[in-house]
Amino acid sequence: MRDADAIRGRALVEESREAVVVLDDDDRVLLASRRARQAMDGVIEGDHFPADILTGERGVIPLVVPYEVGGRRERLVYLSRAGDLAAYEELRAGFTAAVSHELRTPLARLLTLLETTTLPGEDVPALVEQARGEIDQITELIDEVLFLSELESGARVVALGPTPVQPVLAEAVEELEERAARAGVQLRVECADDVELAIRPRMLRVIARNLAENAIRYAGPGATFTLSVERTGDTVTLVGRDNGIGIEESELPRLFERFYRSDRARASRGTGLGLAIVKHIVTQAGGTVDARGARGHGLEIRAELPAS
């Protein structure tokens, strides 16, 4: 049990969205999150923690939480910069406003449908079915907002042990076959059986589903969407590519923004969060993601991740 607790504790610190370190009684670094190591020079496990960080001389505000474990005194230190809180509050306010805006449209349509059912001569069963569709969209939006919030808060751990890639991608695509057929989009998977990634199966499945759902919604009838995976050295490249209608090149940099949808995509029932979630998971797993394509030449989402 203690070994399991130690592994779990290390994973929680490593994948924390915060810059956090664990120090022993001599200010030696026992554990440090990836963000702490990347953001601050001199944070190395096994070495003494830089004193000027603890004193705030680097413009960093330390929050120190002392505790004892196994008779030893240790400290959990959270590190933030003076402007982080203001930036966070601005982001939170913007996110809240965006969620409110995105909920208004389906709620307004739902209210209109319910009011229409009271009029004489209306097809009530058909209107109720449309209302269910609006409720499904609202539910999907709320679920994705909560999922993204859990990712950002670190409540969901992304990477923890190797995962065989091919079975997860195949399962995700199979679940979407019926929807793809209705949209006239063909789904394919190209992946060797021996490829593995250091990412939870649940998170890999979310990436695959969101990439495929994006093609189902926007690629257009007659398009083919392919999920392909290749390993080159220590990098695994996961590519979601379709040969559909594509988008304007000027829109590519904004595809991963929360709630962003192109002018054509706004007519669909997507939440505008799918690709933002993909980027967040890939980034937390230590990878990078980018979009390529043009109008009339399809869309390609390319994620590069460290191999397990």
Same structural domain, 77 and 101: no
Same structural domain, 215 and 282: yes
Same structural domain, 63 and 187: no
Same structural domain, 104 and 131: yes
Looking at the domain assignment, is residue 299 inside a domain? yes
The pLDDT assigned to 265 comes to: 46
Tens digit of pLDDT at every position of the chain (308 positions):
456 666 767 777 777 767 888 888 888 988 888 878 877 788 888 888 888 887 777 777 777 888 877 778 888 888 776 555 554 554 455 555 555 656 777 788 888 888 898 888 889 899 888 888 888 777 766 766 666 666 655 545 565 567 889 999 999 999 899 989 999 999 999 998 888 888 878 888 888 988 999 999 889 999 999 999 988 888 889 999 999 998 888 888 888 876 665 544 444 555 567 788 888 888 877 888 999 888 888 999 999 988 76
Looking at the domain assignment, is residue 140 inside a domain? yes
For residues 300 and 278, give the distance between their C-alpha atoms in angstroms, rounded to a whole number.
Answer: 13
CATH code, 106: 1.10.287.130
CATH code, 51: 3.30.450.20
Domain end position, chosen among 82, 108, 133: 82
What are 260's two structure tokens?
Answer: 């962003």
Which domain covers residue 26, as residue numbers? 2-82
Report how far apart, in Å, the C-alpha atoms of 246 and of each of 2, 181, 238 are: 52, 19, 19
Domain end position, chosen among 82, 104, 128: 82
The pLDDT assigned to 87 comes to: 47
The pLDDT assigned to 287 comes to: 86
Contact between 156 and 150 under an 8 Å Cβ cutoff? The reply is yes
For residues 223 and 242, give the distance between their C-alpha atoms in angstroms, rounded to a whole number.
Answer: 7
For residues 78 and 54, give the distance between their C-alpha atoms in angstroms, rounded to a whole number.
Answer: 10
For residues 219 and 243, give the distance between their C-alpha atoms in angstroms, rounded to a whole number.
Answer: 7
Looking at the domain assignment, is residue 158 inside a domain? no
Looking at the domain assignment, is residue 172 inside a domain? yes
Region label for 71, one of left (φ > 0), alpha (ψ between -120 and 50) or beta (otherwise): left
Same structural domain, 270 and 178: yes
In three state form, how does the secondary structure of the chain look? CHHHHHHHHHHHHHCCCCEEEEECCCCEEEEECHHHHHHCCCCCCCCECCHHHHCCCCCEEEEEEEEEECCEEEEEEEEEECCHHHHHHHHHHHHHHHHHHHHHHHHHHHHHHHHHCCCCCCCHHHHHHHHHHHHHHHHHHHHHHHHHHHHHHCCCCCCCCCEEHHHHHHHHHHHCHHHHHHHCCEEEEECCCCCEECCCHHHHHHHHHHHHHHHHHHCCCCCEEEEEEEEECCEEEEEEEECCCCCCHHHHHHCCCCCCCCCCHHHCCCCCCHHHHHHHHHHHCCCEEEEEECCCCCEEEEEEEEEC
Instruction: Record the pTM.
Output: 0.55
* DSSP assignment of 258-288: TT---TTGGGS---S-HHHHHHHHHHHTT-E
For residues 32 and 34, give the distance between their C-alpha atoms in angstroms, rounded to a whole number.
Answer: 7
Give the phi and the psi of residue 303 in degrees, each rounded to 5.
Answer: -115, 125
Looking at the domain assignment, is residue 135 inside a domain? yes
Q: How many domains is the chain built from?
A: 3
Same structural domain, 102 and 214: no
Same structural domain, 76 and 90: no
For residues 21 and 153, give the distance between their C-alpha atoms in angstroms, rounded to a whole number.
Answer: 17
Domain end position, chosen among 82, 113, 137: 82
